[in-house]
Amino acid sequence: MDPVFKASILTSTLEGFKMLTLTMAKRLRMFEILGKYVSPKTSKEIAESAGYRENYVTQLLDTMVTFKYINYDVQDKTYFLPIEHREVLNQESWPLKWLEIVPLFSAAQPELEKIFKVDGPTALPEAMNDAMQPWLNEHWGFDEPGEDYVKQLVDSMPELKNKLEAGIQVLDVGCGWGGLGGAFAKLYPKSTLYGIDLEGIDIAKKNNADIKNAIFSVADCTKLDPSWSDKFDYVYIRNVLHFVPPKSLDSSIQEIYRVLKPGGTFSLIQFNHKEIGPNKGDIFVCCGGAIGMYAYHGSEDACLGGTEETSKEGSKEEEYKMEDLSSDMPDMARSGKCPLVHEDRVLKAADFKNLQFIPIAFDQEHIHMTFSKL
């Protein structure tokens, strides 16, 4: 037995109890209550001011003392939230806001376990999925790339840069909160940016309310607007296609091809690691994996790739596998860190040509492939 590994598992388990304590304290607004006091208070005083039962308040306070979140005076039997802890232990602080998802994930776990089974459901119940969306919309995706990212991306494609400066039609598939799309529109005011997604559109509109050449709307990437055929000079999709159900993937690619103008460019940007090896020990990847496991199974009635009914339209039954890339591809694409959606899948699904791998200077975590419509 490895004692170091055993200790790490024990630590992780104990940290889980800390998380539960913090979550309970936040939901009861205990830190807000304690933060109003300028002097230490007894558990009775704290309970009465909050309208809670003293015995439960005492137990919660004592637990927070053992975790060193708050102070306790043994002689006076009083509790106090240190001034230096109040900025972090604030109802609206970033660490505590993330705890809001804990009860929702806990409630979803029995349903998620059913999804693992071959004969189980393929998505969480609609109500459960809906309950998670406000938190996901507000807190997950906060690191959306902005203007610096767009500049690096466009600088790697000089022809596109000239077109954007002159004025073209651009489509952002899976725009999320509109961070990337808004940056495109702001940097290239002569161009028009269309951003589509199934969720978060209200946030995207709010975030880009002052940008007049950005249009955000709800749309399913497997069934885009029929009037959009040959409409866009540039279409890009970043970290989205892996959310599309496999049977709907071809439909999504075919729709992107349909709305792209002849001579237009399609950028597919996605995580550069198909294998977990390069991500070992990365705490943010761990968090992302856990959140994705709970939150991105869509719902029974809707998902990024459409409903069960629409996902069958235009799809191929053939199962595509993540094959090794050929030896003439860039090192980053054949080093065992392949993209989640193989470029062969894109080329087979639609009549795209001129596949290129174009690195984005400071973004080594993603791979960027471009395709042309002749």
Q: Where are the domains of the chain?
A: 3-90, 147-372
Average pLDDT, the chain: 83
- HEC states along 326-366? CCCCCHHHHCCCCCCCCHHHHHHHCCCEEEEECCCCCCCCE
Do residues 241 and 343 lie in contact, with contact meaning Cβ atoms separated by under 8 Å? Answer: no
The residue among 302, 271, 248, 261 whose CA lies nearest residue 171 is 261
Do residues 20 and 10 lie in contact, with contact meaning Cβ atoms separated by under 8 Å? Answer: no
Q: What are the backbone angles phi and psi of residue 365, rounded to the nearest 5°? A: -80, -10
List of residues 6+ apart from 107 with CB closer than 8 A: 128, 131
Question: Cα angle at 120 between 115 and 122, to 5 degrees?
Answer: 55
**Which residues in the chain come in under a pLDDT of 50?**
142, 299-339
Do residues 237 and 260 lie in contact, with contact meaning Cβ atoms separated by under 8 Å? Answer: no
The residue among 321, 295, 235, 289 whose CA lies nearest residue 112 is 295
Tell if the pTM clears 0.75, that is, is over it.
no
Question: In this predicted structure, what is the pLDDT of residue 224?
Answer: 97
Question: In this predicted structure, what is the pLDDT of residue 297?
Answer: 59
Nearest-Å Rg of the Cα atoms of the chain is 25
Which residue blocks in 238-282 are alpha helix, DSSP H? 246-259
The per-residue DSSP string of 211-249 comes to -TTEEEEE-BTTB--GGGTT-EEEEEEES-GGGS-HHHH
In this structure, the number of other CB atoms found within 10 A of the CB of residue 220 comes to 21
pLDDT tens digits, residue range 281-326?
A: 666 566 767 777 777 655 443 334 333 333 333 333 333 333 333 3
The two tokens of residue 304 are 């990024």
Question: In this predicted structure, what is the pLDDT of residue 274?
Answer: 53
Asked, colleague to colleague, whether 3-90 and 147-372 share their fold, the answer is no
E strand or H helix that includes residue 78? strand 78-80
Question: In this predicted structure, what is the pLDDT of residue 91?
Answer: 81
Cα 268 to Cα 259: distance, rounded to the nearest angstrom: 15
Cα 32 to Cα 49: distance, rounded to the nearest angstrom: 12
Q: What are the backbone angles phi and psi of residue 51, rounded to the nearest 5°? A: 80, 30
pLDDT tens digits, residue range 167-204?
A: 999 999 999 889 999 999 999 999 999 999 987 799 89
Question: In this predicted structure, what is the pLDDT of residue 59?
Answer: 98
The two tokens of residue 291 are 């959140």
Cα 374 vs. chain centroid, distance in angstroms? Answer: 33
| CATH number for the domain running over 3-90 | 1.10.10.10
Cα 136 to Cα 123: distance, rounded to the nearest angstrom: 17
Which residue blocks in the chain are alpha helix, DSSP H? 3-27, 30-35, 43-50, 54-66, 94-98, 102-116, 126-139, 147-155, 158-166, 179-187, 201-207, 246-259, 283-295, 308-311, 331-334, 343-349
Class of the domain covering 147-372:
alpha beta
pLDDT tens digits, residue range 212-233?
A: 999 999 999 999 999 999 999 9
Q: What are the backbone angles phi and psi of residue 54, rounded to the nearest 5°? A: -65, -40
Of how many residues is the chain composed?
A: 374
